[in-house]
Amino acid sequence: MDSELLEFTTGGRLTTDITAAAADFCRGRGDGLLQVFVPHATAGVAIFETGSRSEEDLELILESVLPRGASYLHRHGSPGHGRDHVLPALVAPSITVPVLDGRMQLGTWQSVVLVDPNADNPRRQVRLSFLAG
């Protein structure tokens, strides 16, 4: 298995499209599976449509399900940071994408997206691993 750890700056944005980095990692590797893993307690990764205001919809849904202003038992960092620690139960910390001939088999509107509500830590790592078929 080949693996690489990448760093991204989310800069307080909820979503960061990492599709291009994932595609570059897969290029030339043939057939297999791409595993995308976020080794953080307050972030997740999703296959998601970007650029159609879906990012805003995700933010609205997360705010309704996990309101930043709620009283969380986990209380360190900025106000509402407890919600950030609950996020990975809803947005998983890993996904698997099939790869054929070095190309991710995403649908027309699908992107690989890092989801990070934690403005206290704008630097995030993502581990990409390729398991050859």
Confidence (pTM): 0.93
pLDDT (mean) for 92-110: 97
Diameter of the chain measured on Cα atoms:
49
Sequence ranges of the domains in the chain: 2-132
Q: From the options 2.60.120.460, 1.20.1600.10, 2.60.40.4070, 1.50.40.10, give the CATH code of 2-132.
A: 2.60.120.460
Which residue has better confidence, 117 or 79?
117
- Mean predicted lDDT score pLDDT of the chain: 93
Q: What is the pLDDT of residue 78?
A: 73
Block residue for tokens 């990692």 = 25
**Residue with structure tokens 């995700």?**
58
Per-residue model confidence as pLDDT tens digits over 2-40: 999 999 999 889 999 999 999 999 999 999 999 999 999
